[in-house]
């Protein structure tokens, strides 16, 4: 932290574990630091606010801070298991402070780097800065022993809470959708779908207990689980007024001695992201024990009662519309899963290829290079090194491009912006590798040993990192010439008579498009995509933000409300061939 260039601090964002207190709360024990509590109070009396950004259970944190009489000195605390970068970005937007006047104090260098990735101009420091805060000129503040500014922010906090409770346009959309779920307990009759949900979902897989990759072993494991007398298992089928999502979730719940129940598996497809299905199912299961593993996009345990979902009545009819639209072919990230669903309501042929996680390693099918390899093949000499990184032969093949049928093609190649490339030293072949999901451009070859150990706790990831270190060099973000060549090869491979829609990057950070929030890299990538698409008369570039009708439609983490994806689908489906 340089005092020469830094601006006076108006908001301190505190990490908790090993920063505000000693130890890790979720691991059973902490030592509370009374002097840090006194610093928070002293800062408030100077008009300098404090908040919390922590990966922890909200109730546990609140109880500790209330016990030590400091909870009410924090404004808009953010305590959950989601990535910190998007949360910090959203927090600063909500409080409406300039990022330069905000400081994150966090002992974890990866969290600090993630913060700077999402909010480049904010200040960051590790825990060693804490003892000098009150004597540091950046924290001089102004006399506010009446805590006037704190009270003003508490009003903002209440308003924000009421705004979230009110829901907005997306809530009305969900209520009008007539969402119904049914539970299929005969999971063995649908064992392929069970295996797929357990092993391929990630962002809504709360337990992440993967099955063996070998098919027979995975099937045997599920049959053992489903056959146990103390395990209740079910597949979740979801329908709404637009049609049938199919089996989108799976749970396996074990009854322990004494009557306690715990979830062994709890996972859902991104198709139902933002619908609240995972929270509704959790509630009808009577809130069993759930240990969330890794980063996820929602908190089933933290949701209030959901009045827009109900259990399906056996007498209800599907009411599915006639499906006369051309085939849909989609390839990319989970952003296409919602479009996939709506496409299935109008077309009898919909095929999608989406990102997956195998043995803890993220396989980004939404990277242009993997798509081009699926079309043209991998350089023969580079195949074995790529496999040592955790890839398999199927990652470099695509039924979509193998069959090459005419229809409506939707491509989302957003990973090129934020997932680093590595070059195989012997062949020069390039490959994307996501070493740190919170910061995909991080050069994992230069990580300190302590940080490398955190990423490489999984043996498969450790082996991949060893291969990278021995055989590969860091490239970083994909070069313009490589990306354009990839996209051109992809568009050329789409058969004549098709309509192709290429999803563009969001061109600003957060929820507001202002000069200060413009995303230069995203704007540049969009220019590249438009440059290539101009050479293909049947290719159209689509910006998701063109289908946004209110600020509430945009999520700080670059996802959108389901209503936006529905509008995009309507546009694609309504485009004349």
CATH number of the domain located at residue range(s) 328-574 in this protein = 3.40.50
pLDDT for the residue 320: 39
Query: Which pLDDT tens digits describe the chain residue by residue (577 residues)?
Result: 444 457 899 999 999 999 999 988 887 779 999 999 999 999 999 999 999 999 999 999 999 999 999 999 999 999 999 889 899 998 888 776 789 999 999 998 888 988 998 999 999 999 999 999 999 999 999 898 989 788 867 766 764 564 455 454 457 667 777 889 998 888 888 999 999 899 988 879 999 999 998 999 999 999 888 777 678 889 999 887 766 778 989 999 887 765 678 999 999 986 677 789 999 999 988 899 999 999 888 899 988 888 889 888 544 444 434 457 899 999 998 778 668 766 876 788 889 898 888 888 889 999 999 999 999 999 999 999 999 999 999 999 999 999 889 999 999 999 999 999 999 999 999 999 987 666 788 898 888 888 888 777 788 889 999 999 999 999 999 999 999 999 999 999 999 999 999 999 999 988 888 899 999 999 999 999 999 999 999 999 999 999 998 887 887 767 787 678 878 988 998 876 6
CATH superfamily of 11-166: HAD superfamily/HAD-like (3.40.50.1000)
d(CA 537, CA 489) in angstroms, rounded, equals: 15
pLDDT for the residue 14: 96
- 359 in Cβ contact with 337 (< 8 Å): no
Cβ neighbours, 10 Å, residue 146: 10
Q: Return residue ranges of the chain for CATH 3.40.50.1000.
A: 11-166
- 139 in Cβ contact with 160 (< 8 Å): no
- 250 in Cβ contact with 187 (< 8 Å): yes
Sign of CA dihedral 328, 332, 335, 337: positive
d(CA 165, CA 446) in angstroms, rounded, equals: 44
What is the H or E stretch that residue 408 is in?
Answer: strand 408-412
Q: Return residue ranges of the chain for CATH 3.40.630.
A: 172-311
- 126 in Cβ contact with 106 (< 8 Å): yes
* The residue count for the chain: 577
d(CA 215, CA 288) in angstroms, rounded, equals: 29
With H, G, I as helix, E, B as strand and everything else as coil, classify residue 147. coil
Query: Residue 38 is encoded by which pair of tokens?
Result: 């006194």
pLDDT for the residue 257: 62
pLDDT for the residue 186: 82
Residue closest to 207 by CA, chosen among 278, 313, 311, 271: 278
User: Which ranges in 11-98 belong to alpha helices (H)?
Assistant: 34-44, 58-67, 84-95
- Residue where the block lists tokens 């494991």: 221
CATH number of the domain located at residue range(s) 172-311 in this protein = 3.40.630
pLDDT for the residue 356: 84
pLDDT for the residue 2: 45
């Amino acid at each position: 932290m340089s005092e020469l260039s830094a601006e006076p601090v108006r908001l301190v964002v505190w990490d908790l574990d090993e920063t505000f207190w000693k130890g890790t709360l979720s691991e059973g024990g902490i030592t509370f630091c009374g002097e840090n509590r006194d610093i928070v109070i002293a800062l408030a009396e100077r008009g300098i606010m404090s908040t919390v950004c922590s990966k922890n259970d909200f109730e546990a944190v609140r109880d500790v801070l209330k016990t030590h009489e400091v909870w009410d000195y924090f404004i808009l605390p953010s305590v959950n298991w989601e990535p910190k970068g998007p949360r910090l970005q959203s927090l600063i937007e909500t409080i409406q402070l300039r990022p330069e006047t905000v400081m994150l104090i966090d002992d974890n260098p990866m969290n600090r780097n993630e913060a700077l990735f999402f909010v480049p101009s904010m200040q960051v420091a590790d825990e060693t800065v804490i003892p000098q805060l009150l004597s540091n000129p950046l924290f001089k503040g102004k006399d506010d022993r009446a805590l006037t500014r704190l009270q003003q922010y508490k009003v903002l906090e209440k308003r924000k809470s009421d705004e979230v409770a009110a829901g907005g346009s997306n809530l009305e959309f969900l209520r009008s959708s007539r969402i119904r779920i049914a539970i299929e307990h005969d999971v063995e009759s649908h064992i392929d779908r069970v295996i797929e949900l357990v092993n391929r979902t990630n962002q809504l897989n709360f337990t992440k207990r993967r099955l063996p990759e070998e098919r027979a072993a995975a099937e045997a494991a599920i049959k053992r689980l489903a056959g146990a007398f103390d395990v209740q298992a079910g597949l979740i089928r979801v329908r709404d007024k637009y049609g049938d999502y199919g089996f989108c979730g799976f749970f396996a719940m074990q009854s322990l001695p004494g009557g306690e129940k715990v979830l062994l598996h709890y996972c859902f497809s991104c198709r139902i992201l933002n619908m609240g299905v995972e929270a509704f199912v959790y509630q009808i299961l009577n809130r069993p024990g759930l240990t969330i593993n890794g980063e996820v996009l929602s908190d089933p345990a933290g949701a209030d009662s959901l009045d827009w979902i109900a259990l399906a009545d056996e007498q209800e009819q599907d009411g599915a519309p006639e499906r006369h639209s051309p085939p849909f072919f989609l390839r990319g990230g989970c952003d296409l899963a919602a479009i996939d669903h709506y496409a299935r309501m109008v077309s009898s042929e919909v095929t999608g290829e989406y990102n997956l996680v195998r043995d803890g390693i993220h396989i980004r099918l939404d990277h242009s290079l993997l798509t081009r390899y699926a079309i043209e093949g991998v350089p023969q000499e580079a195949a074995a090194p790529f496999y040592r990184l955790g890839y398999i032969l199927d990652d470099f093949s695509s039924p979509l491009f193998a069959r090459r049928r005419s229809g409506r093609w939707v491509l989302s190649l957003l990973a090129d912006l934020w997932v680093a490339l590595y070059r195989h030293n012997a062949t020069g072949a390039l490959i994307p590798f996501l070493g740190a999901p919170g910061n995909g451009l991080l050069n994992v070859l230069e990580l300190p040993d302590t940080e490398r150990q955190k990423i490489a706790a999984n043996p498969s990831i450790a082996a991949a990192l060893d291969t990278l270190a021995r055989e590969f060099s860091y490239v970083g973000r994909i070069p313009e010439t490589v990306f354009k060549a990839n996209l051109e090869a992809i568009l050329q491979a789409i058969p004549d008579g098709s309509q192709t829609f290429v999803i563009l990057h969001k061109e600003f950070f957060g929820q507001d498009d202002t000069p200060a929030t413009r995303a230069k890299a995203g704007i540049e990538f969009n220019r590249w995509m438009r440059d290539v698409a101009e050479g293909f008369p049947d290719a159209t570039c689509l910006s998701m933000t063109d289908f946004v009708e209110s600020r509430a439609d945009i999520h700080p983490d670059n996802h959108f409300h389901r209503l936006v994806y529905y509008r995009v689908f309507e546009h694609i489906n309504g485009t004349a061939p």
